[in-house]
Amino acid sequence: MKLFSRCYLIITFVLLAVIVQAQGLPQEQFLIYNAQIVDVLTGKIKSEMALLIEGDQIKALGDFNQLSKDIPQSQQLDAKNKFIIPGLWDMHIHLEVQGLEEDNQALLPLFIAFGITTVRDCASDLGETVLKWRDEINAGKLFGPNLFTAGLKLEGKNSSWKGDLEIENETELNLMMDKQDVWAPDFIKITDNKLHGELFLKSIQAAHERGYVVSGHVPIDLTLEEMVDAGFSSVEHASYLNRLGYDQEEIVAQLKAGTLTNAQAGALYKGIFDQQKADRNYKILGDKGLYVTPTYIGGRQIAYGDEENHLLDSMMTKYLTKAFTAEYLKRIERLKNETPEQMKERKQTYQFNISQLVHYQDAGITILAGSDGAVLNALVYPAQSLIQELQIFQDAGLKPIDVLRAATINGARFLKKDKEMGSIDIGKRADLVLLDSNPLEDINATTHISGVFTKSSYLGRADLDKILSDAREAKVRLDKSREK
């Protein structure tokens, strides 16, 4: 009996030790109270609630008196008159250009200062480096937003982008997909510069069969419907959807039969746009669960580039290195050569493109907010351009709640992370932004941030300003290091 109880005791101690080890140290708790919590799922505001965070997770939502019991004063924040939203997601960025690794890396914290706690990198020549940054951020070794990435993207031979995984046949496709399985990107991106319909469609199928979410451009010789049926989830750049206001099926059929050239097809897509036909087609794709990341801001910056002096933008003067903005400056120079007619046409195209946004929303196509911020996309500034994109969505007629969903829960759903991220709910990751005014009245509220909670820490205004000044210092240092 004695021996039995001694054994029992030892086993109990061992078990306890294992449990304590598994749970690690007790997670630090943080309480935010008096908050107006924006519930992006219901579109309602939960008033004057307390929100208990443990580590990087939302532990409880409820009454201040109940939740504050064991929390020291130093771990409490009075959020009176503040509105709390889930951290924003920029669903289309590129960390790119070899030689500019340091410049890109120095900008990662800047996203946090703009309330962007998650980004989706849509492939670049730095793909393998970005995959490494993703893992370092996840391991807490590098400070930046949660980073999802496609790594390197699939393309045809002699693609105009550097670093693509170029394929010519199914054997090469499968080899590249084997490589992808080793890299483990968060989704697969496929583009249409040199990759034509047949192999593009096979690429969608192959990626889908291996369990990836698939996104990308739309080759001219495929219909969106056949792509979605093959496992394609999101269209990057909404202008591809304009083809749905034309006889897309007929044009694609003729391209496949060889009775129409790409140039002829392109000309047909410049004819009269049929809004009713487009709406019917949007609805078919909405019902099939398609997502779209419009990326309007780049088009806007160029279309109105003759009316605005971007040389004085704070992103240009303070945060982005000379090497980073070299392409931007070239683009500004080239704009000067455009005729008034060309600029007028750019503005008309832009206005037409944004006019379709409410049609997507009404048709049930899920909208993702993404900037396309990158070195090679003129005047599309990292971090800030996402906030500008949100303003465009609102100006184009989207309700503020739908704009907010496009920049939070929709992104999480697209990446199948909505059980753990994307809204303010118990058990979800505590990525939060505190705003001074109500974003459901005006999405411009996202430009007035008083604090961000992410990676188990609260960053008040002074901390966010420190991130900004660090970024300014990094720019000066990098610029200096390249002088002479």
Residues forming contacts to Zn ion in the complex (CB under 5 A) are 122, 372
CA atoms within 13 A on the CB side of 273: 16
Containing H/E element for 166?
strand 165-166
Closest listed residue to residue 118, CA positions, set 337, 435, 407, 320:
407
Checking DSSP bridges between strand 449-454 and strand 457-460, what pairing results, if any?
A: antiparallel
Residue nearest to Zn ion (CB): 372
For Zn ion, the closer of residues 50 and 380 by Cβ is 380
**Alpha-carbon distance 6 to 20, whole Å?**
21
What the block records as the tokens of 370 is 């993404």
CB of 237 to Zn ion, least distance (A): 7
CB of 240 to Zn ion, least distance (A): 12
For Zn ion, the closer of residues 64 and 161 by Cβ is 161
Neighbours of 314 (CB within 10 A): 12
Contacts 24+ apart (CB under 8 A), 43-51: 43/401, 43/440, 45/83, 45/438, 45/440, 51/84, 51/424, 51/432
For Zn ion, the closer of residues 164 and 372 by Cβ is 372
* 3-state DSSP assignment of residue 137: helix
Distances (CA, A) of 361 to 217, 355, 384: 20, 11, 24
Residue 315's beta-bridge partner residues?
A: none
CB of 92 to Zn ion, least distance (A): 6
CB of 372 to Zn ion, least distance (A): 4
**Alpha-carbon distance 473 to 324, whole Å?**
15
Residue 155's beta-bridge partner residues?
A: 166
For Zn ion, the closer of residues 117 and 385 by Cβ is 385
For Zn ion, the closer of residues 315 and 432 by Cβ is 315
CB of 153 to Zn ion, least distance (A): 10
Closest listed residue to residue 371, CA positions, set 137, 114, 183:
114
For Zn ion, the closer of residues 386 and 434 by Cβ is 386
Residue 460's beta-bridge partner residues?
A: 451
CB of 345 to Zn ion, least distance (A): 23
For Zn ion, the closer of residues 372 and 418 by Cβ is 372
